[in-house]
Amino acid sequence: MLVIPVIDIRNGRSVRMVEGLEDKTVYYSESPLNMARLFRKENAKVIHISDLDGAVSGKRKNYELIKEITETVGVPIQLGGGIRTYEIAQQLINELGIYRIVIGTSAVDNIDLIRRLLDDFGKSKIVISVDARNGYLVKDGWGNQTDINAVEFALGMKMLGVQRIIYQDVARVGLLAGPDLAGTKQIAVETGLKVTAAGGISNYHDLKKMQELEPFGVDSVMMSRALYENKFPCQAIWREQEKIDTSLELPKVK
């Protein structure tokens, strides 16, 4: 199962959101770029960036920072947060070389945009974020609850041609309370989509339980807090080595 480290960016810093609530934001690092470099050294194959400022405002205030990460880290970047127009999506894919863009709110509000993005950039470039609370979608940076059933929404996206979704119960995000295994399995089985799971992974045992869902189409998992706080033994070994070997540097990608 592919593990995708998550870097949430707010005001130019690396943070952790808890349950999608702004007043519970925890700051981890002044430099998201350094976090991306660390995850790269820890052998991440893909890194996910959430532009939290973009998710709330729809504006690209972290554009230059994200550009620097994509140009220097040297692994595919998956990006979500505030991608609400065709022009923004085009810029991210064509100019920044973003591996995959993740659409959340706009998939709820602007189905025509999703159709156009799929037609012009292909199914492999577009991922739909299914952010749910109590089985129903939330949007606008998780700030607004809808009456849209998460599974029905995912089925609707499948009809448009979407092949992959990210599913997460936002009530578990940042709490290390364990993943929503039942909800993840349900949406994978009922939709037949490829599913990236997110939210609640706290340790190796949670990861093993999630791995049991691979036969149902859950092939990857996104994690943030568990990685930041060294919840995996191999991480602790690596980061201890970082303290004594300051010569480890990644070459810049030309």
Task: Supply the angle between the helices 111-121 and 150-160 in degrees, to the nearest 10.
Answer: 40
Q: Other CB atoms closer than 10 Å to residue 30's CB: what's the count?
A: 11
Closest C-alpha among 81, 56, 79 to residue 67:
79
Torsion, CA 252, CA 241, CA 42, CA 94, rounded to 10: -20
Q: Which residue type occupies 34?
A: N
3-state secondary structure (DSSP) of residue 110: coil
Neighbouring CB atoms inside 10 A of 14's CB total 22
- Asked if 53 and 65 touch (Cβ cutoff 8 Å), the reply is no
Question: Annotated catalytic sites, by residue?
Answer: 8, 131
Q: How many CB atoms lie within 10 A of CB 109?
A: 11
- Cβ atoms of 177 and 168 closer than 8 Å: no
Q: In angstroms, rounded to a whole number, what is the distance separating the alpha carbons of residues 227 and 229? A: 5
Residue type, position 24, single letter? K
Distance, CA of 172 to CA of 253 (rounded, Å): 36
Tokens describing residue 82:
């505030």
Q: Of 44, 85, 89, 36, give the one whose Cα is nearest residue 65.
A: 36
